[in-house]
Amino acid sequence: MRRITLTDNRLLAGISGREGLSAMEWTHHHATINGIRMHYVEQGAGMPVVLCHGFPHLWFSWHRQISALAQAGYRVIAPDMRGMGQTDAPLPLQAYDIDHITADLVGLLAHIGEPRAVFAGLDFGAFAVYDLALRHPKRVIAVIGLENPAAPHNPDEPPLTEYRRMGEQHFLHIEYFREPPRADRELAAQPRRFLHKVFHTLSGACNYFDMFRHPPGTSYIDAMEEPPALPWPWLSELELEFFVAEYSRTGFTGGLNWYRAFDLKWAQRKPFEGVQSAVPAYFLGSEHDVDLEGFHGEDPIGQMRAIFPQLRAVRMIPGAGHMVQLEASDAVNEILLDYLADIVSQDTQLSS
């Protein structure tokens, strides 16, 4: 009997009428890249656009964008980032530093035979594409950041030290994640409950900062409010099940290691303090994003412009939260297509 998996496009095509049969055109690949086995989904032909996710996400977080961009004439590549989904999850923290993450993206480009691409990212995916633009600018046509305008960076204090001090005052998810194996075990024991609650918590329908009322030592699952039953206007039970199935299989340690490697990345970014990138940049945020509200200081867009002086456009989506690709899919697709059209019109190598 053939086992049905998350890469079965006939099953994926039934997720919602939004995709319909377009999901049948997705191609799933597994390749050894930068010493790990990486999974990525591809559709379309044209200028390459690489979509990079964060935690607790998967390539599937972009499933409503892939076909929309491909049908508009772009070659869309959505990888499972290292440590998550069907991409390998090395155990050492050093495997989640900037050198490894950017080498994954450069290696992916080489594997698909493209010298350059547009890189779009949300959450950890945004930090990855910004680091890539600073270190390998010739491989980046443009960057599109969603929700996270710059990697938070206090030059005077390692981030895990800073977050540990915050976590001594109240619950903070980063401090909860910091020291294994508690978070690994508790999240793996209840993957559906965790993902159901965290997707609600990160959305525009909830206020993440209500969790600060809980004392240090509270579990993440207990700190979050009870979410409404599915389906939601922006998420079906079947869509959640795709995330649950993958994280039930893999556990959460790979994704948590992205947090645990914060200090390694902090040290690797020090040589780039004050360095500006000539890569064109675009930003898409939302009104109720937790990171914009609480983790990027008083002038988050100014932080991004300080790194990317060619910040060509900033658009904000009302009402949505950190799950913006799903919460406001049509608006995200419209903005991404506007940005990509501008990139094509202004890039001399593309327009010549």
Check if the beta carbon of residue 193 is closer than 8 Å to that of residue 150. no
Active site residue 342: no
DSSP one-letter code for 225: P
CA distances, 154 to each of 11, 86, 256 (Å): 45, 33, 21
CA distance 285 to 144: 11
Indicate if 299 belongs to the active site.
no
Residue 235 is classified by DSSP as B
Catalytic residue among 123, 131, 289, 291: 123
Q: Where are the beta strands (DSSP E) in the chain?
A: 27-33, 36-43, 47-52, 74-79, 117-122, 140-146, 281-286, 311-317
Would you mind telling me the total number of residues written for the chain in this entry?
Answer: 352
The answer to whether the CB of 334 falls within 8 A of the CB of 69 is no
The one-letter amino acid at 318: P
Q: Which of 108, 116, 16, 93 is nearest to 60 (CA)?
A: 16
- 28 bridge partner residues: 41
Report the Cα 108 to chain-centroid distance in Å.
16
Residues known to be catalytic: 123, 322
